Structure 1
Amino acid sequence: MLQTLRKAFQVKEVRNKLLFTFMMLVVIRLGSQVPVPGVKTNFFANLFANQSSDAFGFFNTITGGSFTNMSIFALSITPYITSSIIMQLLTIAIPKLEEMQKEGEDGRKKIAEYTRYVTVGLALMQSIAMSVGFGGQGLLINYNAMNVIVAVVTMTAGSAMLMWIGEQITEYGVGNGISIVLLFNIVSSTPNDALTLFERFIKGKTVAVGVVYAIIIIAVIVAICVFTVYLQDAERRIPVQYSKKLQGRRMVGGQSTYIPLKVNTGGVIPVIFASSLMSFPVVIAEFFHVDYSTKLGQVLMFLNSGNWFRPEAPVYSIGLAVYILLIVVFAYFYTSITFNPLEVANNMKKSGGFIPGIRPGKPTSDYLNNMLNYIVLIGAVGLIIVCIIPIMVSGVFKVSRMSFGGTSLIIIVGVVLETIKAVQAQLLVRNYKGFLNEL
């Protein structure tokens, strides 16, 4: 990684892209400090401090703290992420969108345009819900129509601007713009989390005890990061052989290749789906100020991840079992809509390709489907391990949820690996250009 960065800064073209990306990230951090006009900037911070659930914790993490500060980027790029997932699902469900996606670059540009429209619509809906729902509870200094409109317009425009910045990073920076913006927001909360760990485990302890705790904390974090890296990069390569065929007067084909089936085929999507489904009732309950001493409140306690590892109340671990089940279900569901074994088998058959020892057509499709079911289960177990460890530490040791929790770690590792590969690809293209110019 360090060698890649060093080479990147030695190449003017790639260095300019890195500097452009850095300047865009500076703009994001500056915008994260500018409050929405007419709001109490500490409203959500006080709300989080007084509530018993952590439903808003991950949302605040991926906004880089902009949500609790009620900055102009309070919604961050969450509307874009949601709209991208919606469009991806609609592409599978609506044949016209599926055809559009197969049209190539023009089709993808149209889908990207629709995604932008959906993003603005979702940002508008979320900002209206926040301004109207919480405006009368103290979010707005003066709760009136004008202040509501100003807050709605500001937050919607802020989300649209972040989407635009992400697209500019993709076009003029190192690529993966939206992912880099999300990564930067998560990483920006790391110093506060490090301070929380220091105050909880090290502060007030003797030097020897403090050093031991620090070594254990660093070792656990490094181990989870290494495991996440392997989980994100692991793949099962299915060998494919293409038969030779006659074209004109010569034989072509006959090469060997493979189908890379990623172990974590769904990425972070199954975790996001599961977390969202578990936290949605809790968010609604917080909105209506549900009393947790009632029967409804007790049921909601099962959905709060902060209660899953409470030694004094093991019954709440039922919620953990539901969470694990949801991750597995969504892992299989998302994989089924993004990878079609029958389509892959048919394309291989048309191209004269086959898996050694497996007949083309339906036997190949069945083989890929069985292999995929096995791989998805392994990937889902890996996701569960990465997500459960931070929640367990949080519950057992009474530590507030960290920005480097399971979901955040998967996002961080995935984006870092993608960005490094993108930089390496740009360096490789530049080397090819230099070689051709010499010729």
Structure 2
Amino acid sequence: MASAADQLASSISLSKFGQATDLKKRLWFTLGALIVFRLLSYVPIPGIDPTQLDLLTQQMQGGVLDFFNNFTGGALNRASVVALGVMPYITASIVVQLATSLSPTLSAIKKEGESGRKRLNQYTRYGTVGLTVVQGWFIATGLESAGSAVIDPGIMFRVGAVISLVGGTLFLMWLGEQITSRGIGNGISLIIMAGIVARLPQTMIQLFEQGRTGSIDALVLLIIILGVAGTVLFICFMERAQRRILIQYPKRQTARGVQAERSHLPLKLNTAGVIPPIFASSLLLLPLTITQFAGQTTNTETLWGETLVWLNANLRHGSPIYMALYGFGIIFFSFFYTAVVFNPEETADNLKRYGGFIPGIRPGKNTEAYFDYVLTRITVIGALYLTAICLIPEWAFAEAGIPFLMGGTSLLIVVNVTMDTVTQIQSHLLAHQYGDLIKKAKLKGRQR
């Protein structure tokens, strides 16, 4: 049976949207911030020759950097000041969260509340700067050695490029935080989704052009379209799937007599959401950026040069080693992030404090063990689902030799972030409707 909140949410109409002025301001702010991000993706690093850069990016197509280029909306190919996007920030966040789980000192800081969270955020920003400097330096040296893409090579270009990339990444990090606080939430995820969606028209035009010229068989093209539609529906189904645990509270005296209150604790099948693919992608981006750009500056006759050539050849998008590392990263972060966002011990203690219990399970340690038991098993299903969605389409396109950029990972991020954004909008509309009900109730009380 639907709750009162669900029934109220289902009654929300577009007429209520026009009355929610605060929501409209948030939507306009979010749209403006995403437009600023897209404009920045066309601002190149100082000292770049656009013509020679186009030739260079055509030679590097098909590599793993071409895959990560989708997350920035083509900014990496254009050597933009936001070429690295928010990936260094995400990588730094992963490192800080892992360190918090392993280090007693950082774990104690996390338990300090708001002040501890601010200190950990500051550490994340320092890590973002460090990672961006490293990746930016290798990008700058790689551009210098790749041909005549750099107008005036030298230390001044490298320093200027690193400063530009650091500034671009930090600005996107700040922009994402502003979208979260002043927009409709999920700022970092919305920036990533905006980069993917920006490449979607070009991808679709390229695909249909290949079908028109006969590069792709018409039947294969139809299978791709049906496969994408089926993948979107499957993602929607799995993201809404829940394991609902019955929670019962002690009997209470009501107007209808003594009744026992019951509710459900919903556990999403994919508790980690879209975070595992993004985390795994960002961790792969750091070494792969270094190997691909450093491989152009290293003597291939040395052991280090041969190693870089081997890595660039075997870590290409769709290669077995790349797929294995990516799949392992998704599974690992599915369990890791689920453990971060859901604490069985804390949830069991809260239930015990308010008198709630699971029928047939004793409160306290037994309830905690039951939560851990259920969560572990649904996380296995969620991790396998994420791995299949991200890897099977990529493997199929790689085997067929089809340069289709809208793979499973991109679809997962777009669909998941879109669903979260719609939920955020519904929450704001619901809050606005509750506010109207409270005002009406107060007005009736005054009239009496």
Q: Give TM class, smaller chain.
A: 0.7 to 0.9
Q: 1:358 pairs with 357, 361, 374, which one? A: 361
Are 1:242 and 2:242 matched, yes or no?
Answer: no
Aligned letter for 1:22? L
**2:273 counterpart of 1:267:** yes
- 1:184 maps to 194
What do the CA deviations read for 1:81-139 (whole angstroms, capped 9, x no partner)? 22222232233234454454445445434433443333233323322232235434445
Pick from 169, 172, 187 the counterpart of residue 179 of structure 2.
169
- Distance, in Å, in 2 between the alignment partners of 1:74 and 1:432 is 43
Mapped pair 1:160 → 2:166 = no
**TM-fit CA distance, 1:170:** 2.0
CA contact under 8 A between 2:94 and 2:279: conserved in structure 1? Answer: no
1:174/1:397 CA distance change after superposition, 3 Å: same
The 5 A counterparts of 1:302-381 are: 303-308=315-320, 320=323, 324-325=327-328, 327-381=330-384
1:19 aligns with 2:28: yes
The aligned counterpart of 1:311 is none
The percentage of aligned residue pairs carrying the same residue is: 39
- Equivalent residues of 2:41, 2:81 under 8 A apart: yes
CA RMSD of aligned residues (A): 3.6
Change (3 A) 1:275 1:36: closer
Counterpart selection for 1:140 from 150, 171, 175: 150
- Check the 8 A contact 1:304/1:319 in 2, yes or no: yes
Amino acid at match of 1:348: L
The answer on whether the counterparts of 1:236 and 1:263 sit within 8 Å (CA) in structure 2 is: yes
- Of 393, 418, 423, the residue aligned with 1:421 is 423
Q: Number of paired residues?
A: 421
1:265 to 1:72, Cα distance in 2 relative to 1, 3 A: same
CA distance in 1, matches of 2:42, 2:234: 35
Note the alpha carbon deviations across 1:389-416, whole angstroms, 9 max, x for none. 32133123211241x2222222112211
CA deviation after TM superposition for structure 1 residue 326, in Å: 5.0
Normalising by structure 2, report the TM-score: 0.81
Q: Secondary structure at the match of 1:56?
A: helix
SS in 1 for 2:318: helix
1:245 deviates by: 9.2
Deviation, structure 1 residue 378: 1.0
Task: Summarize deviations over 1:57-79 as a string: whole Å, max 9, x none.
Answer: 23211111001101121121112
The corresponding residue for 1:117 is: 126
Relative to structure 1, the CA distance from residue 116 to residue 8 in structure 2 (aligned partners, 3 Å threshold; closer, same or farther) is farther
Cα deviation for residue 301 of structure 1 reads: 5.0
Aligned pair in 2 of structure 1 residues 296, 111: CA closer, same or farther (>3 Å)?
closer
Residue of structure 1 equivalent to 2:206:
196
C-alpha offsets along residues 22-67 of structure 1, whole Å, 9 cap, x if unaligned?
1222222211111111023466654553358622123211111001
Residue 396 of structure 1 corresponds to 399
Instruction: Report the CA distance between 1:366 and its aligned residue.
Output: 2.6
In 1, are the aligned partners of 2:139 and 2:290 still within 8 Å (CA)?
Answer: no
2: CA distance between counterparts of 1:319 and 1:262?
29
Corresponding position of 1:437? 439
- Residue aligned with 1:69, SS: coil
Partner of residue 42 from structure 2, selected from 33, 56, 69 = 33
**Cα–Cα, structure 1 residues 4 and 231, in superposed 2: closer, same or farther, change >3 Å?**
farther
In 2, Cα distance between equivalents of 1:119 and 1:271: 19
- Report the equivalent of 1:407: 409
Structure 1 position 218 matched with structure 2 position 230: no
Query: For residue 128 of structure 1, what is the amino acid of its counterpart?
Result: W
Instruction: State the secondary structure of the residue aligned to 1:258.
Output: strand
Counterpart CA distance in 1 for 2:162 and 2:288 is 24
1:242 aligns to what SS in structure 2? strand
Change (3 A) 1:243 1:103: farther
CA distance in 2 between partners of 1:253 and 1:44 (Å): 72
Q: What is the match of residue 386 of structure 1?
A: 389
Separation of aligned partners in 2, 1:341 and 1:381: 22
